[in-house]
């Protein structure tokens, strides 16, 4: 049976100022069977190296000109 994931959403377009702290807090709270859907107004390329370093995989998807969804989960 495939593993089902609980998905959390974090829309950083709603955060004033740099969202890095909120993103890290959301990632720190993830369990092995959970994933985070990060929604941003641009492709968050600087975040990818941090995710890889911390053992996460990610799947970016452009939904519109200023809407990116990145699905993040533990590797």
Per-residue model confidence as pLDDT tens digits over 10-39: 999 999 999 999 999 999 999 989 999 999
pLDDT range class, residue 5, cuts 50, 70, 90:
confident
pLDDT at 20: 95
**CATH class belonging to 6-74:** alpha beta
pLDDT at 4: 65
Pairing of strands 67-74, 56-64: antiparallel
**Roughly what angle, to the nearest 10 degrees, separates helices 45-53 and 20-28?**
30
Q: Where are the domains of the chain?
A: 6-74
Tokens of 37: 């859907």
Residue 29 has, within 13 A of its CA and on its CB side, a CA count of: 12
**Whole-prediction pTM value?**
0.90
């Amino acid at each position: 049976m495939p593993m089902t994931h609980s998905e959390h959403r974090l829309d950083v377009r709603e955060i004033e100022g740099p969202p890095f702290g909120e993103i890290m807090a959301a990632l720190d709270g993830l369990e092995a069977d959970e994933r985070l859907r990060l929604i941003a107004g641009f492709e968050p390329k600087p975040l990818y190296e941090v995710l890889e370093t911390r053992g996460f995989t990610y799947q970016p998807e452009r939904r519109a000109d200023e809407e990116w969804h990145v699905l993040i989960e533990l590797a």
